[in-house]
Structure 1
Amino acid sequence: MKKFLALMLVLMLVATGCSGDKKTEVAGSDGDIKVGYAINNMNDTFQTYIVDAAKEKADEYGYSIDIQDAQEDVIKQQDQVNAMIEQGVDAIIVVPVDTSAMDPITKAVTEAGIPLVYVNRNPFGEGDIPEGVFYVGSQEIVAGQFQGEYLIKLMGEEGGVAILMGILSNEGAVKRTEGNEEILSQYPGIKILAKESGNWQKDQGMDITENWLTAYGDELNAILANNDEMALGALNALETAGRNDVIVMGIDAIPDAVKLVAEGKMAATVLQDADGQGHGAVEVVHNALEGNEQDSIRWIDFVLITPENVADFQ
């Protein structure tokens, strides 16, 4: 009887030990990690490239990603993030709808003790980033400076320029335009004829350009667009009007824009590294979850793409 009881005790201990080992392995596995991804708008072509890169890196780590599309509605985005918190996600990545309205999201996520990574659009500007919060993106003003500098090289120090801006509540639109103006203001012969928001959209870029052609005619020598989608719209309007003398530049280096640069139809685009931002956002999540030391900001460099180097990006 004593031998039987002893044997049963050993078997129970072994079973308990195995069960405990199995539970520890599952609980600590990457497959359990769930990341919420709150995107501003899935109709924004460039943002889909960032999402694809984030998915790719998440797959490497074995993380799952729940993507929620706010469709440019800041209240909807706040509700989506709150739902992610309630669902118990392990980390949250946010592309802000409105960079000036992220305080409620930042507060809710940090109070929940969840790592928060903003990507592509910086809601903090020059301010401090709270503990447990990170930003992955590019220094937006540099893209605008690249456009301005290259325009002077192509056009010279005289001419009329119009600027297609993104959504004005976005840091990218503000800073890219600021970069344009910083460079162009150094040349008295350069006149900024107009600035108008096309909300990052191709069709709006086309409509605005049509209006500019009517208003300014031959005075319009160049269009600097805050993104490629609006630049493509501008090119459509110019082609319809038979104007092949207007210099057009975009930002993002989406495939269609790179192709047009190679064909000589678009003067330049500026590579905003979607893979670098998407991969970087998930890498920051991984480091935060693992307790690895890292900076609160991860900068991803812009690269000017012109006919001279476009072959490297095709």
Structure 2
Amino acid sequence: MLKKTTAALTTALLVTTLGACAKAADDTASTTAGASAQQRVQATASGTALCTSETYNGGVPKLDLKTITVGFAQSEKEANPFRITETQSIKDEAAKRGIKLITTNAQSDLNKEIADIQGMIAQGAKALIISPLNSEGLDPALKAAQDAKVPIMTIDRLLTTKTACTDYIGWIGSDFVKQGARAADAMITATGDKGEVAILLGASGVNVTVDRTKGFKDQLAAKNSGLKIVAEQTADFTREKGRSVTEQLISANPGISAIYAENDEMALGAVAALKAAGKKAGDIKIVTIDGTKGAVQGIIDGWVAAVIESNPRFGPLAFQALDDFYSGKGVPATTIISDKEYTSDNAQAELANAY
């Protein structure tokens, strides 16, 4: 049995260098969005056994992906470009590989995601890819999958209290702590390392929010930054709340000169709030994380200072993981992808690779 995988362990594993796994991922990457837009593996977990169908949860049937149905559980409403691109990437890769796929969308409702997963198992799905809404709370769905011997590959958000190769095969995602640290560096550059910062926090109960906040604050402390965090409030990763929360924050804290948004939707909501308040582009520096076309265009237009990418194109890597799982090659507990950065220097040239 593999040791429990946590967000802290994930960060520690980043020093591991990839060999054959990176090549396999690159070889199978879809080119529909351009080679530079695809995910690339940065590191995988070391020191633990790779998960296969023989070792997963006491052993599950060895299957051929082309002869079974695979289910994909999307967690959030697809008004967010990240979720739209994520789902489309899964669909495109399934079609490319000739795999029968069924998909669901939990519409940002944890109970619905549980029901969706249970429903796909009832429909005959023999393997699942899930994008968890929360880092905890999916226990009934995980148990249903275990009882039916249906393996689960997780992407994006980490099941922080569950065990790889028992509750799920493995996890593919970004180093969210590092994303926060890179955002802090970008903010220091954008502001000249002075001023008052407000943080638009993501959704509660997910490792993404915790890690991006920690990475940002820890990096400011490590750099002995002159920036001062004067406010932080949850805006749930949505544009609507990003706008309303920003309106409140700049009203209560008129000295705010910078905003760290933990995703692009909140950042674009902040831009709308600043425009409504009569601010001009660049008056308040915004650094955000994702890599949507709207945010990258915001750099070109002067409203956004920098965007740290969080690449949602999981399809090729997720299906390669399932293939490795059944073939006996095995899947690491943790696979960290490499994310780039958008700035005023490359935004125009890279706009086509944003999502």
TM-score (norm 1): 0.85
Structural mapping, 1:145-294, within 5 Å? 145-186=181-222, 187=224, 189-217=226-254, 219-244=255-280, 245-275=283-313, 277-294=314-331
Name whichever of 53-62 and 184-193 sits farther off: 184-193
Which residue does the alignment assign to 2:79? 43
Q: CA deviation at 1:128?
A: 4.3
Which residue does the alignment assign to 2:24? none
Distance 2:124 2:288 in 1: 40
Distance 1:154 1:255 in 2: 20
Among candidates 59, 68, 77, match of residue 113 of structure 2: 77
Distance 2:248 2:75 in 1: 28
Distance 2:69 2:184 in 1: 42
Q: CA deviation at 1:29?
A: 7.0
Give the AA of the match of 1:212.
L
Q: Does 1:141 align with 2:177?
A: yes
Distance 2:126 2:327 in 1: 11
Q: Do the aligned residues in 2 keep the contact of 1:142 with 1:302 (CA within 8 Å)?
A: no
Q: CA deviation at 1:176?
A: 0.7
Q: Do the aligned residues in 2 keep the contact of 1:115 with 1:288 (CA within 8 Å)?
A: no
Q: Deviations over 1:227-278 (max 9, x none)?
A: 0000001011111212231001221111111111123221111111122x23
Distance 1:241 1:124 in 2: 40
Q: CA deviation at 1:105?
A: 2.8
Distance 2:307 2:81 in 1: 15
Distance 2:139 2:350 in 1: 37
Distance 1:286 1:51 in 2: 19
Q: CA deviation at 1:163?
A: 0.6
Higher helix share: 1
Which residue does the alignment assign to 1:302? 339
Distance 2:260 2:156 in 1: 20
Q: Deviations over 1:285-313 (max 9, x none)?
A: 22223333231222111212111122442
Instruction: Flag the 1:87–1:155 CA change in 2: closer, same or farther, 3 A.
Output: same
**Counterpart secondary structure, 1:250:** strand
Distance 2:305 2:324 in 1: 40
Distance 1:175 1:108 in 2: 29
Distance 1:104 1:116 in 2: 13
Distance 1:226 1:70 in 2: 22
Distance 1:256 1:109 in 2: 38
Q: CA deviation at 1:135?
A: 0.7
Give the AA of the match of 1:96.
P
Aligned CA RMSD, in angstroms, stands at 1.9
Distance 2:228 2:85 in 1: 35
**Counterpart secondary structure, 1:161:** strand
Q: CA deviation at 1:214?
A: 1.0
Distance 2:65 2:132 in 1: 27
Q: Do the aligned residues in 1 keep the contact of 2:74 with 2:132 (CA within 8 Å)?
A: yes
Which residue does the alignment assign to 1:4? none
Which ranges in structure 2 are unaligned for 5 or more consecutive residues? 1-62
| Structure of higher RCO (CA pairs closer than 8 Å, 6+ residues apart) | 2
Among candidates 66, 69, 74, match of residue 34 of structure 1: 69
Q: Do the aligned residues in 1 keep the contact of 2:180 with 2:215 (CA within 8 Å)?
A: yes
Which residue does the alignment assign to 2:125? 89
Distance 2:116 2:105 in 1: 8
Which residue does the alignment assign to 1:8? none
Give the AA of the match of 1:57.
E
Report how many aligned residue pairs link the two structures: 284
Which ranges in structure 1 are unaligned for 5 or more consecutive residues? 1-27
Q: Do the aligned residues in 1 keep the contact of 2:115 with 2:141 (CA within 8 Å)?
A: no
Structural mapping, 1:80-119, within 5 Å? 80-119=116-155
Q: Do the aligned residues in 2 keep the contact of 1:115 with 1:289 (CA within 8 Å)?
A: no
Distance 1:98 1:288 in 2: 25
Distance 1:170 1:247 in 2: 26
Which residue does the alignment assign to 1:10? none
Give the AA of the match of 2:295.
A
Distance 1:293 1:77 in 2: 27
Name whichever of 179-188 and 224-233 sits farther off: 179-188
Give the AA of the match of 2:294.
D
Q: Deviations over 1:206-244 (max 9, x none)?
A: 111111121111x10100111000000101111121223
Give the AA of the match of 1:111.
D
